[in-house]
A and B are shown apart, each in its own frame.
Chain A
Amino acid sequence: MTTAVPALSVEGLSVDFRTRSGIVRALDNVSFAVDKGETIALVGESGSGKSVTAYAVMGILDPAGKVTAGRAMLGGLDLLSAKPSQLADVRGREIAMIFQNPRTALNPIRIVGRQIADVLIRHGNVPRRDAPGQAIDMLRAVGITDPARRAKAYPFEMSGGMCQRVMIAIALAAKPSLLIADEPTTGLDVTTQAVIMDLVNDLAREMGMATIFITHDLALAGQRSARIVVMHAGHVVENAPTEELFKRPRHPYTAELIAATPDSAQNLDELVSIPGALPDLRRTDLPPCRYSERCPRKIDACAQPLSRSTSASGHMVACWNPLPERIANAPTESAA
């Protein structure tokens, strides 16, 4: 890893959810860091804990969820132990989040210009009477045509792509140092997706903002981020620079995930599915490696507490029997 001070560093984060049918250990000892100006991606299937990680960091976990261990350092502040008033100051100003479904995340009965102005007034130190004008400037910056007229529109009057642009405008209004984008383009067309992702990438570069990009789409993550953190059942299983992860995946789960991505094959028969399902996280006898029950490379050592090793290039893998560093690209080689 680089020597730069990370914008956010999550260390040993564990989250439990209390449910009627038992305690769900949603996150277990999750650690990763994102440097200033860097874009990283959290990738995993549904239920892997990507969104819970983001929600825990933002302090917006469901009341049933409880952080049982860990720190999330933003500068000198631990977000997980901060007082609500401290968090309220930081959220919106230092960290902002783009949610999955812009239509439900926006206030349906407030015109979008006002929603942007609200953030500017609360977090951007903008005088009340300048806020509407600056909100229009924000709309222009995210590429909405005729922003003065659109500022007076309600979310339901806009297309999905436009709502997502408004969400981005709200998130970036106070020029935060860290942006968390939780599946920002799910439900949008590929053409719109490309434009929205360009927009997020460009603005992040311009403002020197760190970005955590949460997605289930490995191809999209690869295209848009410098480093990929792969999650499985609440564990970080691999964390590596993007190119290296695709060329030499070391965790068996990552390798299978790559082999299951439609883009990696010439025809359907080449695609490989991942056998088994996520383990039930309510179980009290969860193995130390939560992938071991699905894993084709399981060995006796897997019953011991999880081993994490990091190479010189910053390639972290949590596995007792990882794929070798050289030949590990075999499953993707045939597809290229």
Chain B
Amino acid sequence: MTILLDVAAVSKLFPVGGGPGPLARFKRRFSGGPEKLPKVYAVDDVSFSINKGETVGLVGESGCGKSTLVRALTRLVDVSDGSIKLGSRELSLKASRVFARDRDRARIQMVFQDAGESVNPRFTAFDAIADPLRRLRKMRGKALTERVETVASQCGLPLPFLSRYPHQLSGGQRARVGIARAIAVEPELLVLDEPTAALDVSVQVVILQLLQRLKKEFGMSYLFVSHDLSVVRLLCDRVLVMYLGKIVESGPAAEVFEHPLHPYTQALVAAVPRLHENGGGRLRLTGEPRSPIDPDPNVCRFYGRCPLSAAMCKTTMPKLRRFGPRQVACHFAEEFLLVPKA
């Protein structure tokens, strides 16, 4: 298998207490410059790879850094540290502003959560899909029209709808516009940020099946960001679980959901409502996550909320360790490995 995207030790820190205003200026002066400001560790030393044609799921709760990671990968923000390689090309060196005009820009595209909000409301569906083609492929005139119409029909968007504005389209049609816009420039990696979160189940099915068909047809790789584990289970080959800026578990999707090893993944899986099952009496997380601002590098990020929370977790940060095809960052992973299915 060839590796398409290789992410190594990527970090993204945001200084806090910056910004405008005299107070912030005062703070900056007396704290010794912006480097000395406290920082939010949004993404902290994350490494993973995506193979060609693979669908990888990225799950975690809001605030865990999955959006920041995705924005870093798609080069919408600059990383603080680490390398992002797409094929043989290193992407992290160029500033995002410069990369926006790079010819490799077309190789990673993104489908945003709600196309109703991510598509310019004054663009018709045609303009929305044509925009990346005009910018990245310099397409004009008849070739452009043809390409837009091809992509639209590949995504199941009837051609008369191309002249409509986002507010004149239904949720499912908007999702199709969002997908068509992203695949118009034939990307190798498509990043999908909760593409079905705003849709009803009946429409969600159609969009998920469309995504699967497009993937087969064009041999794209997907990074699928979602908090809906039942969807991730259906669509993804492999899954990454993130907690407070770090990957805490990764592995084949079926295995991770059937037999989660990290206590956080266990709580996450237990929290998913199931059709034929009663919800009471299962593992629950209490409390709020730890602060992501300058976290102690020697304390496990899950400490305090974790039902295990042993003395060791307070003194040593667990490393991501390999167990066959899976990786887990917990001191007690072995114990769960031995326990048969929960």
Specify which of A162, A223, A258, A271 is in contact with B273 (CB 8 Å cutoff).
Answer: A223
Main secondary structure of the interface of A (DSSP, over half): helix
What separation, in Å, do the CA atoms of A162 and B228 have in the docked complex? Answer: 21
Let me know if B229 is at the binding interface, CB within 8 A. Answer: yes
Q: A56 at interface (Cβ–Cβ under 8 A)?
A: no
Which stretch in B132-140, B183-191, B264-272 binds the other chain? B264-272
Q: Which residue of A lies closest to B172 (CB)?
A: A277
A223 touches B274 (CB 8 A): yes
Contact of A268 among B202, B208, B271, B276 (CB under 8 A): B208
Q: Is B291 an interface residue (CB 8 A)?
A: no
CB contacts (< 8 Å) of A246 on chain B: these are: 275-276
Q: Are A160 and B277 in contact (CB under 8 A)?
A: no
A192 contacts partner chain B, Cβ-Cβ < 8 Å: yes
| Contacting pair A272 B273 (CB below 8 A) | no
Q: Which of B61, B201, B205, B282 contacts A218 (CB 8 A)?
A: B201
On whether the beta carbons of A45 and B288 are closer than 8 Å, the reply is no
Complex: how many Å from CA A256 to CA B206?
A: 13
Considering the complex, which residues of chain A in the window 176-222 have a beta carbon less than 8 Å from any beta carbon of chain B?
189-195, 197-198, 201, 216-220, 222
Contact B206 A273 (CB under 8 A): yes
**A257 is an interface residue with CB less than 8 A from chain B:** yes
Name B200's contact: one of A160, A162, A216, A220 (CB within 8 Å): A216
Q: Mark A259-274, 1 if CB is under 8 A from B, else 0.
A: 0111111011101111
Q: Provide the bound-state CA to CA distance between A198 and B233, in Å.
A: 24
Provide the residues of chain A in CB contact with B288, threshold 8 Å. 145, 159, 161-162
Residues of A within 8 A of B280 (CB): 198, 201
Is the interface on chain A under 10, 10 to 19, 20 to 34, or 35 or more residues?
35 or more
Please report the C-alpha to C-alpha distance between residue A36 and residue B249 in the assembled complex, in whole angstroms: 45
Residues on the A chain within 8 Å of B202, using CB:
45, 256-257, 260, 273-274
Q: Does A46 contact B (CB under 8 A)?
A: yes
Determine whether A336 belongs to the interface, using a CB cutoff of 8 Å to chain B. Answer: yes
Minimum C-beta distance from B249 to chain A (A): 15
Report if B278 contacts A (CB, 8 A): yes
Q: A194-B271, A262-B234 are in contact. Are A271 and B205 (CB under 8 A)?
A: yes
CB within 8 Å of B: which of A47-67? none
Q: Which B residues are in CB contact (< 8 Å) with A216?
A: 200-201
Chain A residues, Cβ within 8 Å of B282: 194
In the complex with contacts A268-B234, A268-B235, A273-B205, A263-B274 CB distance below 8 A? yes
Chain B residues with Cβ below 8 Å from A218 are 201, 275
Q: Is A298 an interface residue (CB 8 A)?
A: no
A224 interfacial contact with B, CB 8 Å? yes
Distance to closest chain A CB from B300 (angstroms): 17
B2 in the interface (beta carbon within 8 A): no
- In the complex, which residues of chain B have a beta carbon less than 8 angstroms from the beta carbon of A263? 230, 272-275
Q: Which residues of B lie under 8 Å from residue A271 when comparing CB positions?
A: 205, 208-209, 234
Report the separation of the CA atoms of residues A190 and B62 in the bound assembly, to the nearest whole angstrom: 10
- Is B275 touching A219 in the complex (CB atoms < 8 A)? yes
- CB-CB under 8 A for A268 and B212, given A45-B200, A189-B62, A192-B61: yes
**Additional 4 contacts, C-beta under 8 A, given A162-B288, A191-B267:** A223-B277, A262-B205, A262-B228, A271-B234
Can you give 14 contacting A-B residue pairs, CB < 8 Å? Answer: A45-B201, A159-B288, A190-B227, A191-B284, A193-B271, A194-B273, A194-B284, A217-B273, A219-B273, A219-B275, A257-B201, A268-B208, A268-B209, A268-B212
